Amino acid sequence: MNMGKKISTRIFMFGYDFTKTGLYCVKADKKVFDEFRFYKDKWIDDWPEEILFVFDGQEGEDFLIGGLHWKLVSEGVRQVCIQNDILGVQFLPVKVKYNQTSEYIGPYWTINVYQSVKSLNWESIRNLDIFRISTMLYFSARIKILLEQANVIKGVSFTPVADRVLGSST
């Protein structure tokens, strides 16, 4: 029983939905890009062209795993963020090929979340829609609702963060 443990609806930890069979990466050509740059809290200006991921499985995912440090999103996810002025995230183009047909699918983008905080407390995150703590991604309730309304949530899971972790909201 979960007595006394209030679950927040303010912040959600980003994860992948492994309960469904979706696309999975079988090969990648990352053009020697240093993927640890995704954790430097900086805009990436020198993005290499033609980074390629090859996937198998069932098409139609909005969120893909391109590797440990590579979080890929559909054009629909990108448009929701752009149209709603979501700050702190950069969308970098990648090519995605479907292994079974050798056809390109998408467009897809890898995300560079350059907004990070040192700790998960309400004072440091109250005005952020997307941010990182180290390698973990978090979304606000606002962005979760926007993605759900646009029906671009295939392949993602949102784990609520308990209020006790965030501290006071006043």
Q: What is the pLDDT of residues 24-60, one digit of tens each?
A: 788 889 998 999 999 999 999 999 989 999 998 777 7
For residue 15, being part of any structural domain is answered with yes
Domain that holds residue 100: 7-30+48-166
Residue bearing the bigger pLDDT, 151 or 123: 151
Domain count, the chain: 1
For residue 40, being part of any structural domain is answered with no
For residue 95, being part of any structural domain is answered with yes
Q: What is the pLDDT of residues 122-131, one digit of tens each?
A: 888 888 999 9
For residue 37, being part of any structural domain is answered with no
Secondary structure (H, E, C), 68-127: CCEEEEEHHHHHHHHHCCCCCEEEEEEEEEECCCCEEEEEEEEEEECCECCCCCHHHHCC
**In the chain, pLDDT over 90 holds for what percent of residues?**
52
For residue 39, being part of any structural domain is answered with no
For residue 14, being part of any structural domain is answered with yes
Q: What is the pLDDT of residues 67-109, one digit of tens each?
A: 888 999 999 999 999 999 999 999 999 999 998 899 999 899 9
For residue 2, being part of any structural domain is answered with no
